[in-house]
A and B are shown apart, each in its own frame.
Chain A
Amino acid sequence: MTEYVLILVSTVLANNFVLVRFLGLCPFMGVSGKIEGAIGMSVATLFVLTLSSMSSYLLSAYVLTPLGLEYLSTLGFILVIAAVVQLTEMVMRKSSPLLYRILGIFLPLITTNCAVLGVALLNVQQQHDLLQSALYGFGAAAGFGVVLIAFAAMRERLARADVPIHFRGAPIGLITAGLMALAFMGFSGLARL
């Protein structure tokens, strides 16, 4: 049990995917302009990352490792993740139009996100089992979501702030992200895996 809690604490705070591992930076900068978009993106990421961690674990444990093809895991993971996300999108569109309206446009966006692939590869590297993989993906996405929403809230305020002209837009965003990363360094050592 402690192990699972540790995985969560580690991925959400201590080894935050965005601010400590620097994965998934493009949606972090791209979708953080408005807080509604950030929330939609976070929920969709939560969904996709959990699902893709599990499917890539299954692929790796039952197909690639027995055949001795671990060196192709990157390729295989991309293939499986893309297919699973597509399928999810179709099923969701059919069965839950409301959920589709909230997450719809974000789902295909996340498919090729480096954080998604990073989580899948780190799961193999750290030899997680199925439950641990799912939890690792969930935690990574939760960490991504927390940071993304906090960042979006800050950027909404920054949009109204009196920023020096040369720093407006992306530069001040990147400086803010740097300061956030600095703050998240305070969590390092909280959990070690």
Chain B
Amino acid sequence: MFTAVILFTVLGSLLGLGLGWAAQKFRVETDPVVDRIDALLPQTQCGQCDYPGCRPYAEAIASGEAPINQCPPGGEAGVRALADLLGLEPLPLNPDNGQEQPRRVAVIDESACIGCTLCIQACPVDAILGAAKRMHTVIEAECTGCDLCLPPCPVDCIAMVPRQSPWVWPQPGQNARLAASANVRTAQAGGG
């Protein structure tokens, strides 16, 4: 019996170590350009750029499929930052994708909410809390102001109001520089 225990311990450890070593050795680097483009995008996940989220849009920019002027939440400042990064000419925002607006936040008129959960399903960042036939509410700190919850609401009880506190939502493991730049952009947008 001890042979079996020892054998499988050794076999398991060897295979585990081997796989760990192989994972290091054969690691595939993802395209660093995509990461850097993604870091400049506002992470609202609003889909106004015609891509499902910021990361897919970053991939499309990196592969040359999409121009850099399709991100209204990023605004002109975002386009300039992207142009600097990629060495391109800054373009005016494409009006087909929407207008640049100050940072906003969704607010649910709680007396009118019928608890249909449609806005919960539409929210790309899970910022709406609620359950079927229960009142819903927006977690202000999580809301990116993407407007995606407005169309599905059957009773039009969601309003977009300008955000009071600056919106900072750093990605996990991201450096403080980005948080700071988001702050600056928010301040600019709020002031203008």
Q: Which residues of B contact A80 (CB under 8 A)?
A: 11, 15
- The closest CB in chain A to the CB of B11 belongs to A79
Contact present for B22 and A91 (CB under 8 Å): yes
Q: Which residues of B contact A131 (CB under 8 A)?
A: none
Counting chain B CB atoms within 10 Å of each CB, the highest count among A67, A79, A90 belongs to A90
| A-B contact number at CB 8 A | 38
Q: A75-121: which have CB < 8 Å to B?
A: 75-76, 79-80, 83, 86-87, 90-91, 93-94
Q: A144-178: which have CB < 8 Å to B?
A: none
Contact present for B22 and A90 (CB under 8 Å): yes
Q: B1-59: which have CB < 8 Å to A?
A: 3-4, 7-8, 11-12, 15, 18-19, 22-23, 26-28
A63 to B27, CA, bound (A): 31
- The closest CB in chain B to the CB of A94 belongs to B26
Contact present for B26 and A67 (CB under 8 Å): no
Q: Which residues of A contact B22 (CB under 8 A)?
A: 86-87, 90-91
Q: Which residues of A contact B15 (CB under 8 A)?
A: 79-80, 83
Q: B143-160: which have CB < 8 Å to A?
A: none
Contact status of A72 and B8, CB under 8 A, knowing A83-B19, A87-B22: yes
A182 contacts B by Cβ under 8 Å: no
Contact present for B11 and A93 (CB under 8 Å): no
A90 to B25, CA, bound (A): 9
Contact present for A75 and B8 (CB under 8 Å): yes
Q: Which residues of A contact B4 (CB under 8 A)?
A: 69, 72
Q: Which residues of A contact B12 (CB under 8 A)?
A: 79
Q: B44-84: which have CB < 8 Å to A?
A: none
Q: Which residues of A contact B18 (CB under 8 A)?
A: 83, 87
19 sampled A-B residue pairs with Cβ under 8 A? A63-B7, A63-B11, A69-B3, A69-B4, A72-B4, A72-B8, A76-B8, A76-B11, A80-B15, A83-B15, A86-B22, A87-B18, A90-B19, A90-B23, A90-B26, A91-B22, A93-B26, A94-B26, A94-B28
> What residues make up the interface of B, taking CB atoms closer than 8 Å to A?
3-4, 7-8, 11-12, 15, 18-19, 22-23, 26-28
Name 8 extra pairs, CB < 8 A, besides A63-B11, A69-B4, A83-B15: A69-B7, A72-B4, A76-B8, A76-B11, A80-B11, A83-B19, A90-B23, A90-B26
